[in-house]
């Protein structure tokens, strides 16, 4: 028991008849993430109890970091004798009792008072503080045995990765799309990534940034994530030669969607994901998004459709993508584009422009030169 970690979850517990499958997937993900983060693969034993999962494995900073990236877990605690001896005795405390075994006649509040009084008897200098205690003694009372914890670490919640269908996220080097990829993973979907690289007009530093972002996203996935890279600069150049500047960004996006749909369908990925939100930039007005959607053969999910930039920045900081996203690097969508793009483009207008360049050949060019790696 000194080696156990107690995992708590919320949404998984609401899954009715499918609950056991969600719990098993969550346990498998937690174990795999721990193995991914540890240098030497640890031994892990799993025990299921109602509303809880116990992992019997050594505790380390790497294990803590792994569980903080495990979707489906809301919080976790080490079940061991960990005291605040390193910094001396605390001055204030509280007891937090939870009883799953209702055979006991006492309520949780009554048990809090009982255990609290016992602690004060042993340590008269301790004072109870229910709002901001220096030390919390957690007690979980169950039918067969009870657990005591003193640390409660936050985890991201959501659903375990793999309990929803696989997706394909269009990953740029900006702030929005990496967070969008992580957000759909929080809803249980695994995701592959596709990046449109503006080579030879965009340097390798832009691609390096995207690869670094892919590695950060990978921290939340129990399994490797595939990154597709499409050389897109020459395709953009050909589009630019045939189209007015104010429409080019939209034409680029429509071409990206077509290529991404082909990649997704070939690999049984069920939907596309982007980081777009209404009105954040000129190309993301409702009219323009509708014109982009017209060429897609798959649903396009936009987790941040109604979010503002500050909300996305805050999420990026919390998830660890922010510092990488703000590194210098040219986005391919800005190549050959106008400073004042069309705000309310119609699909018919864009189709007319697209008739001026060899659409099928450009799509094939992108698909033939695509590369992919596992991260």
Which pLDDT tens digits describe the chain residue by residue (375 residues)?
457 999 999 999 999 899 999 999 999 999 999 999 987 888 999 999 989 999 999 999 999 999 999 999 999 999 864 444 445 678 899 999 988 767 778 899 999 999 999 989 988 889 999 999 998 999 988 877 788 898 899 999 999 999 999 999 999 999 999 999 999 999 999 999 999 998 888 888 899 999 999 999 999 999 999 999 999 999 999 999 888 889 999 999 999 999 999 999 999 999 999 999 999 988 899 999 999 999 999 999 999 999 999 999 999 999 999 999 999 876 666 666 667 789 999 999 999 999 999 999 999 999 999 999 999
For the stretch 107-140, what's the b/e string if a residue is b when 16 or more beta carbons lie within 10 angstroms of its beta carbon?
A: eeeebbeebbeebeeeeeebeeeeeebebbbbbb
> What pLDDT sits at residue 191?
98
Q: Report which of 271, 289, 270 is spatially closest to residue 343, judged by C-alpha positions.
A: 289
**CB of 225 closer than 8 Å to CB of 217:** yes
Give CATH 3.30.2130.30 domain extents, the chain: 4-154
List, in order, residues 6 or more apart from 102 with CB less than 8 Å away: none
Place of tokens 């042993």: 122
Complete edge-to-edge strand list for the sheet that includes strand 226-231: 300-301, 272-273, 159-170, 187-197, 226-231, 371-374
Give CATH 3.40.50.620 domain extents, the chain: 163-374
4-154 maps to CATH 3.30.2130.30: yes
Round the CA-based radius of gyration of the chain to a whole number and report it.
Answer: 26
> What pLDDT sits at residue 84?
40
Q: Report which of 262, 233, 252, 232 is spatially closest to residue 350, judged by C-alpha positions.
A: 252
Fold of the domain built from segment(s) 163-374: Rossmann fold (3.40.50)
List, in order, residues 6 or more apart from 20 with CB less than 8 Å away: none
pTM equals 0.90
> What pLDDT sits at residue 332?
63
Q: Retrieve residue 99's tokens.
A: 């009883």
**CB of 183 closer than 8 Å to CB of 217:** no
> What pLDDT sits at residue 87?
52
- Strand partners for 267: none
CA dist 14 and 199 (Å) reads 48
**CB of 252 closer than 8 Å to CB of 242:** no
> What pLDDT sits at residue 83?
41
CA dist 294 and 38 (Å) reads 46
What is the average pLDDT value for the chain, to the nearest integer? Answer: 91
CA dist 368 and 228 (Å) reads 12
List, in order, residues 6 or more apart from 250 with CB less than 8 Å away: 283, 288, 291, 292, 341, 342, 345, 350
List, in order, residues 6 or more apart from 211 with CB less than 8 Å away: 227, 375
**CB of 67 closer than 8 Å to CB of 34:** yes
User: In the Cβ-directed half-sphere of 151, how many Cα atoms lie within 13 Å?
Assistant: 14
Chain centre distance of CA 41: 24
């Amino acid at each position: 028991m000194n080696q156990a970690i107690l995992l708590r979850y919320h949404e998984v517990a609401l899954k009715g008849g499918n609950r056991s499958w969600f719990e098993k997937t969550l346990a498998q993900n937690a174990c795999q993430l721990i193995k991914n983060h540890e240098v030497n693969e640890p031994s892990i034993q799993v025990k299921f109890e109602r509303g809880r999962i116990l992992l019997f494995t050594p505790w380390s900073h790497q294990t803590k970091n792994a569980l903080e990236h495990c979707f489906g877990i809301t919080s976790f605690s080490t079940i061991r004798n960990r005291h605040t001896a390193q910094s001396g005795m605390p001055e204030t405390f509280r007891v937090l009792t939870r009883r799953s075994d209702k055979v006991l006649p006492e309520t949780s509040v009554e048990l809090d008072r009982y255990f609290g009084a016992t602690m004060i008897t042993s340590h008269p200098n301790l004072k109870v503080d229910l709002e901001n205690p220096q030390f919390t003694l957690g007690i979980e009372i169950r039918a067969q045995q009870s657990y005591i914890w003193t640390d409660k670490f936050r985890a991201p919640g959501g659903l375990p990765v793999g309990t929803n269908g696989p997706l394909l996220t269009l990953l740029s080097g900006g702030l929005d799309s990496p967070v969008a990829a992580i957000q759909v993973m929080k809803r249980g979907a695994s995701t592959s990534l596709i990046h449109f690289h503006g080579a030879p007009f965009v340097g390798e530093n832009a691609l390096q940034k995207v690869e670094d972002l892919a590695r950060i996203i990978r921290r939340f996935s129990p399994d490797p994530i595939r990154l597709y890279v499409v050389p897109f600069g020459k395709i953009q150049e050909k589009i630019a030669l045939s189209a007015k500047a104010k429409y080019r960004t939209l034409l680029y996006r429509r071409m990206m969607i077509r290529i991404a749909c082909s990649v997704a369908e070939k690999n049984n990925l069920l939907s596309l994901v982007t980081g777009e939100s209404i009105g954040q930039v000129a190309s993301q007005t409702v009219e323009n998004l509708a014109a982009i959607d017209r060429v897609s053969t798959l649903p396009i999910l936009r987790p941040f459709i109604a979010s503002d930039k500050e909300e996305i920045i805050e999420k990026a900081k919390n998830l660890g993508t922010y510092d990488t996203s703000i590194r210098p690097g040219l986005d391919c969508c800005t190549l050959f584009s106008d400073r004042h793009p069309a705000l309310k483009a119609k699909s018919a207008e864009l189709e007319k422009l697209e008739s001026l360049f060899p659409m099928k050949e450009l799509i094939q060019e992108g698909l033939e030169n695509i590369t992919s790696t596992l991260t």
